[in-house]
Structure 1
Amino acid sequence: MRDWAVLEEVWEVILDRAEHPSAESYVSSVLTHRKGVDKSLEKVGEEAVEFILAAKNQVPERTVSEAADLLFHFLVALKASGTDVEDVLAELASRRK
């Protein structure tokens, strides 16, 4: 099933956690970390490496899992950097020929 709406739902949760931080929320903990945006960027780097290794080693279930982790942490990093995902989507749309 290809349901791109799940990415929008995840983005909405990230926005909500940024607006209403909670001690129990992983997203809130990343967005309010003492390292600032660096914490979310570290997570993107970590997940990117794990995705690359899984894909290179041709481990399908790990590749899927790590891809999901990478997409999630990428969205959190966008929020942490003050970038709206709509701007990224608009950029991608502008590149279509």
Structure 2
Amino acid sequence: MRLDKYLWFVRLVKTRALAQALIEQGHLRIDGRPVDRSHATVKPGMVLGFPLHDRVRVLRIELLPMRRGPAAEAQACYTDLDPLPPDEHRREQPDASSS
């Protein structure tokens, strides 16, 4: 499956065009190798790493989705390898008002 289609199908981005833009920035990695082509092929077992929404996401592909389904179905297609949940990332950042 194409990388841009995968990111869109599993609801990590809202549109396929946004997925293509994210990939073309050159910050996305597949199994540690930089990728800048939307048509790169992804398969189960591969690990994706990329910055998204003020944090770095590290995901292992578990399944290739057949469609862009509901969120629960999309989340079953990958495992988040980040040890901290999203709310913990916000707590770790220093508070600007305390300076």
TM-score w.r.t. length of structure 2? 0.25
Structure that is richer in helix per residue = 1
**Higher RCO structure, 1 or 2 (CA under 8 Å, sep 6+):** 1
TM-score w.r.t. length of structure 1? 0.25
